[in-house]
Structure 1
Amino acid sequence: MRKGWIVNGLAGGAVGIAALLGCKSAPPPAMTSEVAFVVIQPRKAALTTELPGRTAPYQVAEVRPQVNGLIQKRLFEEGTDVKEGAVLYQIDPVPYQAALDQAKATLAAAQANLPAIRARAERTKGLAEAKAVGQQEADEAQAAFLQAQAAVAAGKAAVSNAEFNLANTPIKAPIQGRAGKSSVTVGALVTAYQPASLVTVTRLDPIYVDVTQSSAELLRLRKRLEGGKLHSGDGARKAKLILEDGTPYQLEGRLQFRDVTVDPSTGAVTLRMVFPNPKQVLLPGMFVRAILEDGVDDQAILAPQQGISRDAKGNAIALVLDASNRIEQRIVNLDRALGDSWVVQSGLNAGDRLVVEGIQKVRPGMTVKAVPFAPAAQPAGAQK
């Protein structure tokens, strides 16, 4: 009786243990990963290129004297703005005033003699026709008249030259701009058209920005414009600047011209832009980064940067959801960054659902739970 109880007890315990072991080895139910997606929709976008460059003065004038003489006065302060036509230096005008007075006197004497000589030539001509005087005398009278006319013309030229010299004793600014350091002082002797300039005047408003762009990039841009993928918007390529300290320049510029030759050592082309500079924040020689508008794409495919990753070979890849919420991996061809998005040339199409959150938890072929991406709420009081 007791022995049977023990056997039955052992059998019941074995069944219980087997049941427990069976429950423990059963796999837990699989959990479906959740991802967030955005729907790719074409939209109008202005495509830009960021290029390094330096500022250059809009106009530079090296001021030199046009006459010889001593500097009597300097009529400007170094480092200040001067207007076009403002007198910068005064050369001693006394010798040139005397030369002008002498030229005027010589001209007056030549003009005074001219009427009498003209009358004599006319009378002699009439008498020669009447055979009252010889032809030789008539010819001499006509020659004297022509000489008198030449003396008057020479006198007028001498007066004009003297007036020019006197007018250039005040040395004026040929352009509006900022005067630099003066190379001469009062009392210095200067010569006409000397090699060394007296002062340099630089116009800073507006100001040029010269940048370089690869010729290959220019060819790609031309193909896209000619193919209708891009258009030039309002026809003027606009430009913006980022200063050396990383701050944006507040005023907008425009592309003025593109050089017609390619630098063989760099394979780049120089582009020149012009920017307004009323406060003279930009100075010649500053390093800047120019953001140049290439064109407008009315049907640009933009993908959030967080939805694009790289594989081991460096290819840009995107994870896309099909109709069954299965993960599909695609290799995409990127053009450039635009804000927080990539401009996609190929690999994504309008209407595709691009995974932007949960990428690390999934792999191609997996079926997932998909929810629309909700951007994080902006903190209260944050600037928009």
Structure 2
Amino acid sequence: MRHARVAFSAAFAAVVLCLFYAVPVLAQEGRPPVTVTVQTIHSQDVTLTTTLPGRVVASGEAEVRPQVGGILTERLFFEGAFVEIGEPLYRIDPATYEAREAAARAAVAQAQARLSAATKEAERIQELLDRRVVSEQNVDDAIASRDAADAALQVAMAELLAAEIDLDRTTIKAPLSGWLGRSLATQGALVTAGQAEPLAVIRAIDPVYVDVTQSAAEIIRWRRGHTQDDLEGADLTVVLKLADGSLYEHTGHVLAAEPHVDEQTGVVVLRLEFPNPDNLLLPGMYVQVEAPQGVVRDVALVPQRAVSRDRRGQPTALVVNAENTVEQRTLTVLRDHGSDWIVSEGLSDGDRVIIAGLQKTAPGASVLTEEIATPDEQD
């Protein structure tokens, strides 16, 4: 009797266990397939970028300094205004220079009179020589006097030109088209030629330059091709990020790289150019740029939300095959690219990666799919 009860208990336990494991299977087989959102992956070439810090630099800068000395009598511009090259900015008291110009002009007239007299004298001496009245020496002396008078006239004319230049420089003009800052000198100030302190500074800010720095080690690494960075076919436009974190609406391009490494910091300076029609970028402003570094070819861009990690820490993604069955793929991720991962291995062109509904399914399950367009297709 006792053995019969033991046998009955064992049989009952076996039946319960069978029912326990069979019910979920039956329930799973009885449920309809869940719907997941997928995105079709396409192989493509991706331009790698790096974020570099930099400063905005004016594309042209000129310090306004006087070229003659005197008292400033007038300021002819509004501070912060845009000026064209050659536009008057300041006026220096011209009285002294007007007097010098008048004296130089009188000296020219005097020299012209002497040359005229010497020329006539040389002609008379030549006529007397033809009549054998004077000697050859008299003729030579007259010609020498005429030539000396002509040279004196040239000197006087050069002095007149210098006086006119100095008089013209009493009106200080803009050496560059650009935006003026504040005036550093006021009416009544005494200025001197070539003084150290400028009167004002003009900056051309459309376009502007952005000087960024990159470590020499990074330059060596990508020049050796460790990141497959043959730039042929790469997108060479540069994206600018402002100090508030927003992106600048205009893209730029690389102008040049300084062929020199700073001994103290070990960096190389790269110069970029950006259009600045709204004058949003100002010299000295701190910015960051996304600069092209190279190209990786035949890779896939996978949304980061579609990639998870297994127990070994390997990146994985769920893929829906042609039979609408879920498969798990182990991926080789190179780096991030915006909101995507750059995947070099683990996916093929045309694979449908699950990007939403991951928690509702598992490898081996049958699913229904909703396709979402890639960013390129949406554009």
TM-score surpassing 0.5?
yes
Determine helix, strand or coil for the equivalent of 1:28. Answer: helix
Determine helix, strand or coil for the equivalent of 1:73. Answer: strand
The Cα shift of 1:327 comes to 4.8
User: Which residue pairs with 2:364 in the alignment?
Assistant: 368
* 1:283-362 correspondence to structure 2 within 5 Å: 283-294=282-293, 299-308=298-307, 317-318=315-316, 327=328, 329=330, 332-334=332-334, 336-345=335-344, 349-350=348-349
Give the direction of change, closer, same or farther, for the CA distance of 1:109–1:132 in structure 2 (3 Å limit): same
Tell me the alpha carbon deviations over residues 149-197 of structure 1, each in whole angstroms, 9 at most, x when there is no partner. 1111011101100110111111111112222222221111111111111
Counterpart-to-counterpart distance in 1, 2:3 and 2:236: 91
The Cα shift of 1:117 comes to 0.8
The Cα shift of 1:116 comes to 2.5
User: Which residue pairs with 1:380 in the alignment?
Assistant: none
Higher mean C-alpha displacement, 299-308 vs 276-285:
299-308
Counterpart-to-counterpart distance in 2, 1:56 and 1:227: 32
Determine helix, strand or coil for the equivalent of 2:91. Answer: strand
Partner amino acid, structure 2, of 1:42: S
Partner amino acid, structure 2, of 1:79: G
Verify: 1:256 aligned to 2:255, yes or no.
Answer: yes
Higher mean C-alpha displacement, 123-132 vs 353-362:
353-362
Counterpart-to-counterpart distance in 2, 1:189 and 1:220: 57
Conserved? CA contact 1:107–1:152, under 8 Å: yes
* Seq. identity, %: 37
Give the direction of change, closer, same or farther, for the CA distance of 1:14–1:309 in structure 2 (3 Å limit): closer
Partner amino acid, structure 2, of 1:369: A
Give the direction of change, closer, same or farther, for the CA distance of 1:309–1:326 in structure 2 (3 Å limit): closer
- Superposition RMSD in Å: 4.0
The Cα shift of 1:376 comes to 8.3
Conserved? CA contact 2:118–2:142, under 8 Å: yes
Q: Calculate the TM-score normalised by the size of structure 2.
A: 0.79
Give the direction of change, closer, same or farther, for the CA distance of 1:132–1:371 in structure 2 (3 Å limit): farther
For structure 2, list consecutive stretches of 5 or more residues without a partner in the other structure: 29-33, 374-378
Give the direction of change, closer, same or farther, for the CA distance of 1:58–1:321 in structure 2 (3 Å limit): closer
Counterpart-to-counterpart distance in 1, 2:106 and 2:195: 31
Conserved? CA contact 1:356–1:373, under 8 Å: no
Partner amino acid, structure 2, of 1:254: H
User: Which residue pairs with 2:270 in the alignment?
Assistant: 271
The Cα shift of 1:22 comes to 2.5
Higher mean C-alpha displacement, 343-352 vs 97-106:
343-352
Aligned length: 362
Partner amino acid, structure 2, of 1:110: A
Give the direction of change, closer, same or farther, for the CA distance of 1:116–1:308 in structure 2 (3 Å limit): same
User: Which residue pairs with 1:24 in the alignment?
Assistant: 16
The Cα shift of 1:318 comes to 3.5
Conserved? CA contact 1:255–1:271, under 8 Å: yes
Conserved? CA contact 2:229–2:294, under 8 Å: no
Counterpart-to-counterpart distance in 2, 1:375 and 1:340: 19
Determine helix, strand or coil for the equivalent of 1:343. Answer: strand
